Amino acid sequence: ISHQNHAQPGYGIGQYHLSTAWDISSTASWLGAFDPASVAGRGDPAYTVGFDFSVDGTKLYVIGWDSLSLTDAVFEYTLSTPWSLQSVVLTNTFSIIPDGILYVSVNFNSIKISNDGSRLYLIGTGVPSLGQPAVPIVAQYDFDVLYDVTSLIFGDYIGIPESIVPRDIAFSSNGLQAFITDSGLIKVHQYTMTTAWDFTSSMYSERNLFLWNQQYNNSGIFIGNNGTRIYSAGQFGASTESFEPS
């Protein structure tokens, strides 16, 4: 989930306009959907499992299946009009290949870009060796050139054993807090980083937001309005809920 946009199964990414900023209970006007597979260019994803924007809305990043490389990949798009899904052009791709040492296969559900464009994060599961069960992980990459996926350098895999089915990750605006939504436990886990935007320095805070009474299959999370609201996408029907931290 990303501010002003959320995933629509079967339609790629759907976009709405809110009549009141940050308030999803206000009148939401449907602006249309963007299907990454419909954009002309190399290796458009056959399906989309996660997406994120640069902080200025001029870049869109999608994780999905690359039919040319036959691997999951990150697809980088440029938006000629910030935040407008009607002005999207595919610019670069980056294939996601497991290191073969810590994990022989990986399966990621979501993607996040740091606010300063220096890091990229993927969240999902990895299989340590053949025959072993998959374990929840976050993969962290560094951008050698800000926001350019062709310059990505693998950083590290970080285990998140307190999660069962991690689906999405969000950060506070200063990069010192991380939030992971877990559809297996139907809650949000909170982490604290000693170094901003470096998830390898994270510590599990033991703080959780339980969603049992609001939704299930929670699959997306976003922190908005200067950290005063949390948005969680999931099913109660099919909904997006907002919460205000007390």
CA distance 117 to 197: 10
Query: Would strands 88-95 and 71-79 be described as parallel, antiparallel, or unpaired?
Result: antiparallel
Tokens 């002309």 found at: 40
The CA-based angle 192-156-150, given to 5 degrees, is 115
pLDDT in tens, the chain (246 residues): 554 344 444 447 888 888 998 888 887 788 888 888 766 555 566 667 889 999 999 999 999 888 788 888 999 999 999 999 888 999 999 999 888 888 999 999 899 999 999 999 999 999 999 889 999 999 999 999 999 999 999 999 999 999 999 999 999 999 999 999 988 778 889 999 999 999 999 999 988 776 666 655 667 888 886 777 888 776 654 444 444 444
What pTM does this model have?
0.87
Q: How many CB atoms lie within 10 A of CB 127?
A: 16
3-state DSSP call for residue 82? Answer: coil
- Distances in Å between the Cα of 210 and the Cα atoms of 133, 137, 177, 214 are 26, 21, 18, 9
DSSP per-residue letters across 10-68? TTEEEEEEESSTT-TTS-EEEEEEE-GGGS-STT-EEEEEEEEE-TTSSEEEEEEEETT
